[in-house]
Amino acid sequence: MGHLVNLLQLQTTLFFSNSPTCSSIALKPHTFEYLKANVLTSKCKAFGGGEMDALPHLQTLRKFPREELVAKVVLVRFDSTLLLREQGEEQRFQPNALFTIKYLHQSGAKVVLVSDWSVKTNPRLFVAQSVAEFLSSLLEYKVVPVQCISQNVVSKREGFEKGDILLLENLSAFRGEVANCSKFSQALSSGVDIFVNDYFSRSHKILASTCGVTRFCYANLAGFHFEESLSQLRRATESNTKPHVAIIGGGNLFDKAAALHSLTSRCDGLVFVGMMSFQIMHALGLPVPLNLVEHGVLKEALDIVQVAHIRNVQILYPKDFWCKNDHLPKQLEIFRAHRILDGWVPVDIGPASFVEMKFMLSRCKKVTWIGPVKFRTSNCTKGDSELAQMLNQLSQSNCNITVVGNKACEAMVKESNFTFNFTMIKDASVVWEFLKGRKLPGVMALDRAYPFDIDWSDAYSDPAQPLVVDIGSGNGMFLLGMAKTRKYLNFLGLEINKKLVKRCLDSVHWRGIRNGYFIATNATSTFRSIISSYPGKLVLVSIQCPNPDFNEPDHRWSMLQRSLVEAVADLLTANGRVFLQSDIEAVSLRMKEQFQRYGKGKLTVVHEQSFAITNSGWLKDNPFGVRSDWEQHVLARGDPMYRLLLCKSTTTE
């Protein structure tokens, strides 16, 4: 209670030098320093420019080798709200979504479509047959419905005898979809080689059709619509264009507090135009009808105001409202924001507020509008359209406009006369979740390409030397030992554990090693993109003691995937070697089978007289004379290691 009293004592008038009409909060010097050190740091750390890493670089359909699509079964998760709508504004968003499907079919892939739909999307479409006919007319290919999930009626490959493209059952009928059920995901992806996600509007949800299926497909890609939507999200949240003002509508400040802190850390001004404006006004000490105050959000609202003051971020809230009275249903009156009479409730923003808003926005180079101009008692207001007119005028000049949310987008389209000089993101939920600093599950589930250009000359004294890569390098004992005795080679460790990589890089620095380097990454997804940029030859790849989880059989897929094996087989130089070992024979056998199955016939087991072989065909000794820490541990307890050496044939180059 004492903390709340102290916060309430901070409420006074708010003054921002750039706006003569906005009020301000006067803070004592020691209070200012406390807030700067605590509130600003704790609330905004996750949202400051370079510190937000919630959008990784993905493997996209655009950059995936087109020849690799030929004869592959490709599962496409499409957005029914885009492709199944009747004639309307959604058509503007269709081209990339349609292009994803057409591109795959024209590339020789066997395309399988999956989505959820309801009569709300299109009253004429309910059963799969009607959806298939509708898609056939859009795509100009024959789409046929098949039952491959609920019933084992026909396999996905067999289904293509009936049409060009297959459509699976409505996902709305399956509980396993929203539960991200592993068995359902496996059934959904049965027989599928590649997964393409083009369903960006629910990328903040964990669904079987966007997350679960990625476990069972050897490559997972972002479709053209997904890629473009992700680019729009990046552009919308960039802070490099100044001044940048965010117009914030809607309500529920408590749930969006973290996102508002993010906007406060990125923007030069905040304009509140919805129910949240009353929470900000209440935090500023202005009289607000109690029925308009959201319960339990005062502390969050005060934090936002305080952080804005520290960063000198201008806050604008409505100065007047159009109000109505239940006893006078046909009458509207204008009231000053802090003088709303009893019995009157706001339904729209008043004219003085729009004049002030227009003055502020006229000086901006970037505006992001997220959330509708909406109040509890208003079903239809003119606020959205007036704001849309204002932003449309700004978009004709040199102002970057981004509009987020269905209501805001609809208003902009109505006022634009079909001339679009702005960016639209229809689903506000994705943007709010991203602004909260949360990683989007549908994005994170896709394969990631390495996001940075590697300066190999900085990593190695001679980047032209042949390269040895250890996948899952752990604490680096094997690579560091190899680098010490083989100066004529360069060594690279790929390890997913960032803490281990930091320790290894520290060891490289302390020991003065100039032929060893480590990268924190998921090699399954990034091996090809990293190694293909190396200027020298790849001569050896080692995978030692991968960690299987025998308690979770469904997770064994993550140990070694087809995409990694194919990348190793492609990038390894002629006569290059692959060294595999584990203290669990079943794991070594599985690795051997994977390389022989997906190595494209390029890799064969080495049988040289110089190597001692066990009766089961495993190498008795480590051919390099340098042991990893786990190998030392296993041998010390008297247990065997199951080793194998593969060689790339010279005839495949």
pLDDT in tens, 214-254: 988 888 999 999 999 999 898 888 878 889 999 999 889 99
Say if residues 357 and 384 touch (Cβ distance below 8 Å): no
On whether the pTM is more than 0.85, the answer is: no
**pLDDT over 80 at 175, yes or no:** yes
> How many whole angstroms from its chain centre is CA 205?
11
Q: Among 36-50, 344-358, 511-525, where is mean pLDDT lowest? A: 36-50
Q: How far apart are CA 60 and CA 448, in angstroms?
A: 9
3-class secondary-structure state, position 93 = helix
pLDDT tens readout for residues 390-402: 998 888 888 999 9
Q: Among 68-72, 89-93, 281-285, 507-511, where is mean pLDDT lowest? A: 89-93
**pLDDT over 80 at 125, yes or no:** no
pLDDT at 326: 80
Q: How far apart are CA 58 and CA 63, in angstroms?
A: 10
The CA angle 431-218-227, to the nearest 5 degrees, is 30
- Averaged pLDDT, 593-616: 85
The top-scoring range by mean pLDDT among 15-24, 55-64, 435-444, 543-552 is 435-444
Q: Please name the residues in contact with 229: beta carbons below 8 A apart, sequence gap of 6 or more.
A: 200, 201, 425
How many residues are given for the chain? Answer: 653
3-class secondary-structure state, position 483 = helix
3-class secondary-structure state, position 384 = helix
In this prediction, what percent of the chain has a pLDDT beyond 70?
84
Cα dihedral 445, 448, 451, 456, rounded to 10, equals 150
- Averaged pLDDT, 435-459: 85
77: β partners: 114, 197
As given in the structure block, the two tokens for residue 327 are 């006893």
Q: Please name the residues in contact with 293: beta carbons below 8 A apart, sequence gap of 6 or more.
A: 278, 279, 282
Nearest alpha-carbon partner for 112 in 73, 161, 151, 154: 73
**pLDDT over 70 at 32, yes or no:** no
Say if residues 220 and 197 touch (Cβ distance below 8 Å): yes
Q: How far apart are CA 197 and CA 402, in angstroms?
A: 24
Say if residues 49 and 63 touch (Cβ distance below 8 Å): no
**pLDDT over 50 at 35, yes or no:** no
- Averaged pLDDT, 502-526: 93
pLDDT at 156: 64
pLDDT at 28: 39
Q: How far apart are CA 588 and CA 577, in angstroms?
A: 16
As given in the structure block, the two tokens for residue 242 are 């100044």
**Residue 606's pLDDT band (boundaries 50, 70, 90)?**
confident
**pLDDT over 90 at 202, yes or no:** yes
pLDDT, averaged across the chain? 84
Say if residues 436 and 261 touch (Cβ distance below 8 Å): no
pLDDT at 561: 82
**pLDDT over 80 at 535, yes or no:** yes
In this prediction, what percent of the chain has a pLDDT beyond 90?
52
The residue assigned the tokens 């992806």 is 189
**pLDDT over 80 at 653, yes or no:** no
**Residue 419's pLDDT band (boundaries 50, 70, 90)?**
low
> Structural domains in the chain?
61-232 (3.40.50.1260), 238-416 (3.40.50.1260), 456-648 (3.40.50.150)
Say if residues 307 and 40 touch (Cβ distance below 8 Å): yes
**Residue 149's pLDDT band (boundaries 50, 70, 90)?**
confident
pLDDT tens readout for residues 88-116: 545 566 788 999 999 999 999 999 999 99
Q: How far apart are CA 74 and CA 101, in angstroms?
A: 10
**Residue 155's pLDDT band (boundaries 50, 70, 90)?**
low
Q: How far apart are CA 5 and CA 123, in angstroms?
A: 55
Say if residues 335 and 320 touch (Cβ distance below 8 Å): yes
Q: Among 96-105, 187-196, 411-420, 465-474, where is mean pLDDT lowest? A: 411-420
What does the DSSP assignment read for 33-62?
HHHIIIIIHHHHGGGSGGG---S--B-BTT
pLDDT at 422: 84
The residue assigned the tokens 């009293």 is 5
Say if residues 421 and 396 touch (Cβ distance below 8 Å): yes
* C-alpha R_g of the chain: 30
Q: Among 166-175, 192-201, 251-260, 603-612, where is mean pLDDT lowest? A: 603-612
Say if residues 113 and 168 touch (Cβ distance below 8 Å): yes
pLDDT at 330: 82
Q: How far apart are CA 2 and CA 9, in angstroms?
A: 11
- Averaged pLDDT, 593-598: 92
Helix axes 94-106, 128-139, angle to 10 degrees: 90
As given in the structure block, the two tokens for residue 570 are 């492609």
pLDDT at 21: 38
**pLDDT over 80 at 157, yes or no:** no
Question: What letter does residue 24 receive in the DSSP assignment?
Answer: -
pLDDT tens readout for residues 251-295: 899 999 999 999 999 899 999 998 899 999 999 988 888 888 888
